Structure 1
Amino acid sequence: MEGKKRYFLELSYKGTPFHGWQIQQNALTVQEVIEKALSLYFRREISIMGSGRTDTGVHATMQVCHFDLADQVPNGNFLKGINALLPREIAIHSIRPVREDAHARFDAERRSYFYRIIFRKDPFLDELAWLCFHRPDMDLMNQACEILMKHEDFECFSKVKTEVNHFRCQIFSAHWEQKDNQLLFHITANRFLRGMVRAIVGTLMEIGNGTRPLSSLEEIILSKDRNKAGKAAPAKGLFLSQIEYPAQLYLD
């Protein structure tokens, strides 16, 4: 595209009404809604590339995507205008010019997620958390996190039908914390496999609830067998929360 300029959008969304991030036939997705809004705003067809996919019902407090423009520069009214075209479940927070070869997916160095569990019914968090009535052993689950970070191959936590060349991920941090009446799981890695975080949460909760011994985690990981790990935690408690890029990508 001659004279094109590339931009990164930072956005957030509530995933409840969407069938995930990526465009699908006969299903409403976040990517589709944003592309339609951008195309309407700029009066030309716009395609976006996200930092990664999120599954049906998964949320994002921070997602990043890139798109290209030719012979147009977003003005100071862009954020107001584009948000007016989007549903209340999606918000664009910033637009930043980046290098022409910058890529929202391939240039991301770290990605972070958190998972929220609540222990009493809360009408304000019903679509944003997994409701459990038994409090697990958080110390035991944090010991499990230490085991996780010693490994790199997480095929056992990946959805079976996935198009990847390998199952290696570098986990930089993983831990659980108690916050008021919530239990939060935080994890940061260079990349994540499809369904990986929810599978980890489900497995660690089984360890914390005493239905699976801590010693079994090493065996599960080495088995590379998804059937050996626990049931995936519900999608509604999962949030993509941070994407980190090299500073030199940005032009502002």
Structure 2
Amino acid sequence: MRYFIQFSYFGKAYHGWQNQPNALTVQEVLEKALSTLLRQKVEVVGAGRTDTGVHAKEMFAHFDFNEIEDLEELVYRLNAFLPEDIAVQQICRMSQEVHARFDAHERTYEYWVFQKKNPFYADSAHFVKYPLDLKAMNQAASLLLEHSDFECFSKSNTDVKTYICDVRHAKWEEKEDRLVFTITADRFLRNMVRAVVGTLLDVGVGKMAPEEIHTIIASKNRSEAGVSVPAKGLYLTKVLYPNEIFDEQK
């Protein structure tokens, strides 16, 4: 039987989501907790990858197991077993054909920037001391929607088959005492959001004009884009699935 698990995590202590040798990951910790509580090896498949230090306010994964009678009890026991920086919101039964990664058709990230010293953002946002032109940054962000090939923002030497992404929303907003960049697409390349933010911040401090985004994207060259901003300010905030897959929920 297939189960979907919804959870969140603060990524400071982890080398990203996906299992890797000699490094602690969220997937490893979650699999170990499930395997311990269910007394059988459990492997989970995530909705996507997050890099080292990146956070997730909403993440999904699936795993296969025999009939679990009380899912609410399992959620309770998992949260008691897991470290404080990982929390499970719910577990539900799904059709065997539903896939946490391949059925997700939209993902949303936020990037947080703060401009006045604030100890509460030291591990959760990126500090920029220079004045930023928010209007210019949003002008540049809107131009992202006119393109589909984002190789210039991808980490070098990745094993992806295509650099095509359908970016559907990209905007900066002032929210309380921070600036928040929100971007939504069907998929993202490794390091893409952090490279996009770094480029938009270059626009914000006047290093480049907003329309230079076109030239950077056309170059398909990572060195033409801005530097990648720190991972600590990046949050996966939404993973969207077709409504019909939840109609098949068991």
TM-score between the two structures when normalised by the length of structure 1: 0.96
Residue type matched to 1:235 in 2? A
Which has the larger share of helix? 2
Alpha-carbon separation, structure 1, partners of 2:193 and 2:70:
36
Partner of 2:127: 131
Partner of 1:214: 210
Task: Specify whether residues 69 and 240 from structure 1 end up closer, same or farther in structure 2 by C-alpha distance, changes over 3 A only.
Answer: same
Answering whether residue 160 of structure 2 is matched by residue 164 of structure 1, we say: yes
What displacement does 1:116 show? Answer: 0.2
Residue type matched to 1:178 in 2? E
Partner of 2:136: 140
Answering whether residue 236 of structure 2 is matched by residue 240 of structure 1, we say: yes
Residue type matched to 2:83 in 1? P
Answering whether residue 101 of structure 2 is matched by residue 113 of structure 1, we say: no
What displacement does 1:216 show? Answer: 1.6
Alpha-carbon separation, structure 2, partners of 1:174 and 1:215:
15
Cα contact 2:72–2:91 (8 A) shared by 1: no
Residue type matched to 2:101 in 1? R
Alpha-carbon separation, structure 1, partners of 2:156 and 2:19:
20
What displacement does 1:71 show? Answer: 3.9
After the TM superposition, which residues 36-115 of structure 1 pair with which residues of structure 2 at under 5 Å, given as runs? 36-115=32-111
Size of the alignment, in residue pairs?
Answer: 248
- Classify the secondary structure of the residue corresponding to 1:124: helix
Alpha-carbon separation, structure 2, partners of 1:111 and 1:37:
26
Unaligned runs of 5+ in 2: none
Alpha-carbon separation, structure 1, partners of 2:234 and 2:67:
39
What displacement does 1:76 show? Answer: 3.0
Alignment partner of 1:200 out of 196, 200, 206: 196
For residues 27-61 of structure 1, give each alpha carbon's deviation from its aligned partner in whole angstroms, at most 9, with x where no partner exists: 00000000000000100000001011101000000
Alignment partner of 1:19 out of 15, 19, 23: 15
Alpha-carbon separation, structure 1, partners of 2:70 and 2:157:
39
Alignment partner of 2:173 out of 171, 177, 201: 177
- Classify the secondary structure of the residue corresponding to 2:42: coil
Unaligned runs of 5+ in 1: none
What displacement does 1:122 show? Answer: 1.5
Alpha-carbon separation, structure 1, partners of 2:207 and 2:65:
54
- Classify the secondary structure of the residue corresponding to 1:93: strand
Alpha-carbon separation, structure 1, partners of 2:60 and 2:67:
23
Residue type matched to 1:217 in 2? I
Task: Specify whether residues 77 and 235 from structure 1 end up closer, same or farther in structure 2 by C-alpha distance, changes over 3 A only.
Answer: same
Alpha-carbon separation, structure 2, partners of 1:212 and 1:137:
11
Residue type matched to 1:236 in 2? K
Alpha-carbon separation, structure 1, partners of 2:63 and 2:202:
42
What displacement does 1:192 show? Answer: 0.2
